[in-house]
Chains A and B, each alone.
Chain A
Amino acid sequence: MSLNANMKTDTFPETSNKRKKRFTRNDWMGYLFSAPLIIGVLAFAIYPMIAALIMSFHQTSGLSVGGKWVGFSNYNYVVHDSLFWQALTNTFFIGIWSVLLGIILSFVLASLINNLNWSTGKNFFKAVFFLPNVVSGVATTLLFSFLFFPSKEGLLNFVIGLFGIDPVGWFTNPQVSRYSIVLMSLWGALGYNTIIFLAGLQSVPRDLYEAAEVDGAGTYRKWFYITIPYLRPIFVFMLIMGTIGAMKRFTDVWLIGGTAGNPGGSLMTVVLYIYRNAFLASQMGMATAASYLLFIIIFILTAFLMLLNRRKDSFD
């Protein structure tokens, strides 16, 4: 994303002989070298996008791409399906909490690490906080299903039990299961954001701080008036990446609650909804309609978040 932002469409200066009709040997070599990529993009990105669009307007049967043309009725069905709305609400709920808490916590964490004067310590904490990030979603979920065990044996229930709190059904009580997912994903994702924030913090020009010090600004004022505004593009980048990731939540909720999104449908997410319609109910047309709706939602959210970066401020 941030990389895209740096891209310019005119990366390649026009060659002087662009009027020449025939392809040069150089051109052919270029196509030959890019052929694997071009084939890959066409067959596994462009074709599926188009096929999904076509399928979403058909009533499909079994595993065929075609079927009876039904216009917008697949979309109509999905939009009027209360389960889809439940899935969307859950996805948003888990997403908003995990993205916002994740950004705030990791920014604080990165600031703390950045203020350490002890470089071995810096590297040590970076490595420790990042470690959960290389752990797969499956392993994380299995691990947390035991840590969040619903009876007093679970580690988290044991810990809160020391404070006299009764055991909580972290993944079995529909009232709390979504918060438990947020906690679990914070553990997994915190280090990633922290690393990016740390890189950002190191890029803030020293003289800005020095100028502020001359003006008598303290640590917290510098943090609020220099660091945070300066890192706004990174905050926006994280909001975008976090949102995209959150909208695609599947592995953990599927492992914990199965295709029903248990407990009580509280862990039904949009991708789980797509998955169960496509591969359990074999309603491929309907599932692709839902996936297009998901794509549109992600697209709108991303575009909206990118606008946050447009606003002019003193650093531009």
Chain B
Amino acid sequence: MNTVDAKIIHRRKKISLNQWILTIVLFLGSFVMIVPFLWMLVTSFDWAARLHINFPPRLWPEEPSVKTFEAAFTSIKMFRYITNSIMVSAGVIIISALSALLSGYALSKLRFKGANIVLLLALSTMMIPFEMTMIPQYLLFSKLGLVDNYLAFYLPALNYAFGTFLAKAFFDQLPTTLREAAILDGAKEVSVFSRVYLPLCTPIIATMIILLFLGVWNDMLWPLLILKKATKYTIQIGLAMFTYNNGIDKQPSIIMAATTVSLIPVVVVYMFLQRYIIESIALSGIKQ
């Protein structure tokens, strides 16, 4: 009895020392992860760094000012790009989520002929890299005259096979008896879906919105191909084009101010939904 207690106490002490070492190591690691963000913030508020990086690096701006942000909004059309990005993201999220929920419902609850084939087809196309299909897709949209048109984002959004898969798995967990009862009561299929099942789907809808938002907001390759007019640019391509044309490492504080602004939406979403985002990503295991 006594020896066991002694062992446990001994162990506790040892663990707490380990815990201290662990915590310190992890804090050092987090510091390395955070430093780039701190540097970005300090530089973005430093009017003195509008032409050259400060040397030596500073912990506080040499000339603290928001003029850098004013400059970012005037020389880069940030306001317009952000509005555009919101329009693109909102449309893609609504269309993709709706397509995924409808098809997930059909595949899970309606058990129609050929459902297996539809599911298999959708899942196997998930493996096709976008880089592979981007050229024909670009040609398709340019032939349809949809270059610089956000339909080039909205239409491909119909193909959200991963969301279908998530939604189907979610609907599989919901009882089929709900549908049977509603149908017996004379409800139409559409209202079974929208009135009975959809209200139960909030968790999966939230997951899809988060994953889609992060994917669309941060995407650059498709906007690079399909958006030619600067007035149509989304935030990523607008920022990229500005630096691509002016030199990537020029005007530090103005570019950092613009970058900071471009990060605000994702970081705000991340701060509020952080645990939720981490959970959905750990669960989904797929980033895009």
* A residues in contact (CB < 8 Å) with B: 1-4, 7, 9-12, 15, 18, 23, 26-34, 36-41, 43-49, 51-52, 55, 63-65, 109, 112-113, 115-118, 121, 123, 125-139, 141-147, 149, 152-155, 158, 187, 190-192, 195-196, 198-199, 237, 241, 244-245, 247-248, 250-251, 255-256, 258, 271, 274, 278-279, 284, 287-288, 291-292, 294-295, 298, 302
A112 and B27 CA atoms in complex are apart in Å by: 11
Which residues from B are CB-within-8-Å of A292?
132
Q: What's the nearest-Cβ distance from chain A to residue B201, in Å?
A: 14
Instruction: Report B252 CB to chain A, min CB distance, Å.
Output: 6
Mask, B244-261, CB within 8 Å of A = 1, is 100011001001100100
A37 contacts B103, CB within 8 Å? yes
A291-B134, A298-B129 are known; give 18 further A-B pairs, CB within 8 A.
Answer: A36-B95, A37-B118, A37-B164, A40-B156, A63-B142, A63-B143, A115-B18, A117-B19, A131-B270, A133-B281, A134-B277, A136-B263, A143-B39, A187-B36, A195-B282, A196-B285, A198-B282, A295-B128
Q: Across the interface, do A142 and B225 meet the contact criterion of CB distance under 8 Å? A: no
A-B pair number, CB within 8 angstroms: 308
User: Is B274 positioned at the interface, with any CB of A under 8 Å from its CB?
Assistant: yes
B149 interface residue (CB < 8 Å to A): no
* Bound Cα distance from A292 to B263, whole angstroms: 35
Is B275 among interface residues, defined by CB-CB distance under 8 A? yes
Indicate which residue in B121, B137, B239 contacts A48 across the interface (CB closer than 8 Å).
Answer: B137
The answer to whether B26 and A37 have CB atoms under 8 Å apart is: no
Interface, chain B (partner A; CB < 8 A): 15, 18-19, 22-23, 25-26, 29-30, 33-37, 39-40, 43, 52-57, 95, 98-100, 102-103, 105-107, 110-116, 118-123, 125-140, 142-143, 155-161, 164-165, 189, 193, 214, 217-221, 225, 236, 239-240, 243-244, 248-249, 252, 255-256, 259, 262-263, 266-267, 269-270, 274-275, 277-278, 281-287
Chain B, residue nearest A144 (CB)? B36
User: In the docked arrangement, what's the CA distance between A284 and B133, Å?
Assistant: 12
Option from B29, B122, B127, B217 in Cβ contact (under 8 Å) with A37:
B122
